Chains A and B, each alone.
Chain A
């Protein structure tokens, strides 16, 4: 001991546990402790961060898809235009197009008119036909009808297309030479030249600049109209002269004073944009006239699939998922609970039951896609059941959920104390009566919880259903268990593959709906557990 303890000035004993080296060691150990703790906390925080990132990505993407822009056009449905006797083959799209062109009397060329018609969804006429069939009172007068816009027009109005430009006031005077067609504009100074150069204009001779379709678009708003600048050149006395194409007619050729004309610069060249300058100007005008209206997107919630992003809806997939889940529940619940009852209450300890038990545990870990292969080989090819049908999808998912339900039900049955069984047997109940009258009712909340969780798992499952053809493009809402159908996760998978940006939002919105269903199911499971949980 003497070599371990020595005395220092103040009489305090110093040992290997208290000298400086020991203090350093202790410090290092505590530091290691802190590091380890923060590492753990970091891992948990990282998992939480991933969740927040995932959910926020989905929610921010999905949000715009919940609303959609409609065009409130006064449609002439008077008897002169629409014959109530011949509604079936009537071209409602034509009525809508006429109303739209009436809003833009100066759009005259065939090409521009086609572009203008493109602002409206190609399915608008179909919706109108449906609405008129429901409400024939619309006929015979001019009605204000919300017309769904095309997906790109809709995205533009929602501000989701990249680079839609910003307005800059012009710090000089501008004098236009005409009100329509190709005109010349004279600027009070040559500031415009530098600006155009900065936005990708092509240099020509004598300092002339041309704005090709590969350069940024410069849209000049003055005198109540809009001019697209096509070329610029230095003028006399430090002024600048521009050539421009009038997109929207000017009111007059009055010179605009300093600060009155506004220049809008759209940096993405027109050729690499999905929406042209003209469409942008038209949409802005429709918006400023209050003709566009953002409404709840009923198309998305209540229609079936479509190749047009603005017409695509989830209702068909929701119904398909619902039908599939009914089949899954109808098969998996009775079979799973019965199997659990047998294994837990009746089964003798022998080889067969051991095999069944091991087998169920392994089945729970088989990759879901293998169940899809089983469904394809057995249900479709061997039994010849229809492809893409909810009944087959439900059967495949039932086989997949079965182990989950069995395991949960067994745990729940095991939790019922033996005294209940003994009491029942003691007053003369048979084994079957004991189980069905006493044990099963007590275990039911746990079984229901397990079943709901299993169903939630099945609802989100995609891969096995791809195997049995539920990936087909189906427009109709399925009406029965053998109709071709698709389901919500598969719909998400299909939409995620489509290149149109409109589908990206729809995919996220569909994910949101799927997650909402899952949250509801899990909430029910939690409530069941909380409400009926019993500690023995």
Chain B
């Protein structure tokens, strides 16, 4: 229904454009030069004022109504809902909506049927309201703007100002995203820290939130604070990241050096796309590769050496993650190495140094800050990587430094805590947001430091 309204408004806008153009030309009897703004600008002015406010109203309506409707339902059926907890109320409203508008219904009862009927009538009313509001706004905007079209009217200024406001609004979306991320993470984490003190979360060494509730009948509020110790997750993340960097740092760096200083043109023409393809492969494919090929390989190798390698060992996940990061490290290092001025290389060569001596004793020291920051960015990438560890690393939170054992990571736990869970106010699901906040803060800090270092370093040679 709203879709038709949007299409109607777009149609009206097109009509208004045509009318506005004709009106502008007619107002000067075809002598377009006498107009302050071009006919197209007048037309755009009319179209914008016809459809703009109405579309804005529709957008606001679409964002607000679901919440308003739910709260009206919750209000009217307060008696039926009084004995229920928050998840049940949400389920009730979800089912009522599903009965009213079609969808997957959990199970139905008379109260829900009644709620669905009310839902339907409220929705019909609100649809009527938005249709009338939108059409009134469209008509009002059209007539107001139509009256303004005159040879001396500065339609261009108005249109350009609106356009500029739109451009600014679009750039602010990026900021809004960040604010949304920060606020949602902090808000949900605070709810978590109300139930579990943050020092127990940050410094506790026992992690088993899946056992937080033994069954549906468990009293709310009876949260065991001691099972939310995230240290094993941090340790596991660090272990896998360390293994990944052990693979990615030398290979990526050496590949970058070889490609920038040694490789012939034809080698580069092959090797660069290879690295780009490696970078473009989705992480879920790496995860599949890790779980199906690399992990059994390490397990078999360990068996033949008499070692007991877990089938979800940190080693397999770490190595595959390292492979994934190789192109990242190499392209960042490549930029950094290429930014070292040629004069430094020429000077070194002039003193009789071989190429490798130049690289090791001149280029790399000069590029060191950049390489360090590249590594920091790679570490941040490895910490935030999800699919490989979800598919290839374990779920049990072992506090160990042995790469042959299974460990779990922050991202794995976020996924396991949230996937499949519909209710949203238990300490278990909220813990995922606390982990998300930690993850966000760490990666942000790493990025900021790394970008700073790069900037400082670039200025040195620019």
Contact = CB atoms under 8 A, between A and B. Distances in A.
A377 B327 CA distance: 33
Max chain B C-beta neighbours (<10 A), residue from A339, A431, A457: A339
Interface string A26-41: 0001101101110111
B282 A37 contact: no
A374 B138 CA distance: 34
Contact of A36 (B277, B356, B439): B356
Given A370-B384, A496-B292, A507-B288, A359 B175 contact: yes
A388 B11 CA distance: 32
Interface in A420-438: 430-432
A338 interface: yes
Nearest to B429: A376
A373 B385 CA distance: 14
Interface string A440-466: 000000000000000011011111001
Nearest to A492: B284
A518 B282 contact: yes
B460 to A, nearest CB: 20
Interface stretch (A166-174, A302-310, A361-369): A361-369
Contact of A370 (B166, B281, B440): B440
B389 to A, nearest CB: 10
17 contacts: A33-B357, A36-B359, A41-B258, A44-B255, A47-B271, A47-B278, A51-B274, A58-B288, A342-B171, A362-B178, A373-B184, A383-B67, A406-B174, A467-B414, A467-B419, A493-B390, A518-B282
Interface stretch (B109-117, B193-201, B443-451): B443-451
Contacts of A41: 258, 262
B84 interface: no
B62 to A, nearest CB: 9
B160 interface: yes
A430 B164 CA distance: 13
Contacts of B10: none
A366 B444 contact: yes
A43 B254 contact: yes
Nearest to B179: A359
A367 B171 contact: no
A371 B424 CA distance: 17
Q: Label chain A's interface by main secondary structure.
A: helix
Given A335-B173, A355-B175, A459-B282, 13 more contacts: A33-B354, A41-B262, A43-B250, A47-B275, A47-B330, A54-B286, A362-B444, A362-B448, A365-B381, A365-B444, A366-B440, A373-B418, A386-B103
Contacts of A382: 184
B63 A57 contact: no
A514 B288 CA distance: 13
A501 B356 CA distance: 50
Given A370-B440, A381-B424, A493-B284, A338 B419 contact: no
A367 B418 contact: no
A383 B360 CA distance: 56
A150 to B, nearest CB: 23
B373 to A, nearest CB: 12
A373 B185 contact: yes
B3 to A, nearest CB: 10
A82 interface: no
B105 to A, nearest CB: 13
A493 B387 contact: yes
B433 A338 contact: no
B262 A496 contact: no
Nearest to B282: A460
B415 interface: yes
A296 interface: no
Contact of A514 (B168, B282, B355): B282
A143 B69 CA distance: 57
Interface in A7-31: 29-30
A326 interface: no
Contact of B288 (A362, A387, A492): A492
Interface residues of B: mostly helix, strand, loop or mixed? helix
Contacts of B188: 377
| A53, A334, A363: most-surrounded residue (chain B CB, <10 A) | A363
B184 A377 contact: yes
Question: Closest 9 CB pairs between A and B?
Answer: A367-B384, A40-B258, A460-B282, A43-B254, A377-B184, A36-B356, A338-B170, A463-B386, A342-B167
Interface string A452-495: 00001101111100110001000000000000100001101100
Contacts of A386: 103
B278 A374 contact: no
A81 B356 CA distance: 83
Contacts of B167: 338-339, 341-342, 346
Interface residues of A, number: 91
A361 B451 contact: yes
A47 B251 contact: yes
Nearest to B171: A339
Interface in A261-309: none
A42 B380 CA distance: 26
Contacts of A63: none
- Which residue among B172, B255, B293, B433 has the maximum number of chain A CB atoms within 10 Å of its CB? B255
A365 B255 contact: no
B415 A466 contact: yes
B69 to A, nearest CB: 9
Interface residues of B, number: 96
Contacts of B255: 40, 43-44, 47
B287 A496 contact: yes
B304 interface: no
Contacts of B168: 342
B398 interface: no
B284 A460 contact: yes
A35 B258 CA distance: 12
A459 B281 CA distance: 11
Given A47-B251, A511-B285, A366 B181 contact: yes
A44 B174 contact: no
A128 interface: no
Pick from A33, A355, A377 the residue with the most CB of B within 10 Å: A377
Nearest to B360: A36
A82 B163 CA distance: 67
Given A48-B271, A54-B281, A339-B170, A369 B288 contact: no
A368 B289 CA distance: 20
A515 interface: yes
B51 interface: no
A373 B436 contact: yes
B129 interface: no
B263 A44 contact: yes
B251 A43 contact: yes
A403 interface: yes
B333 to A, nearest CB: 11
Contacts of B381: 365
Contacts of B384: 366-370
B362 to A, nearest CB: 14
Contact of A463 (B275, B387, B447): B387
Contacts of B433: 373, 377
A366 B178 CA distance: 10
Contacts of A367: 383-386, 411, 439-440, 443
A62 B451 CA distance: 41
Contacts of A456: 280
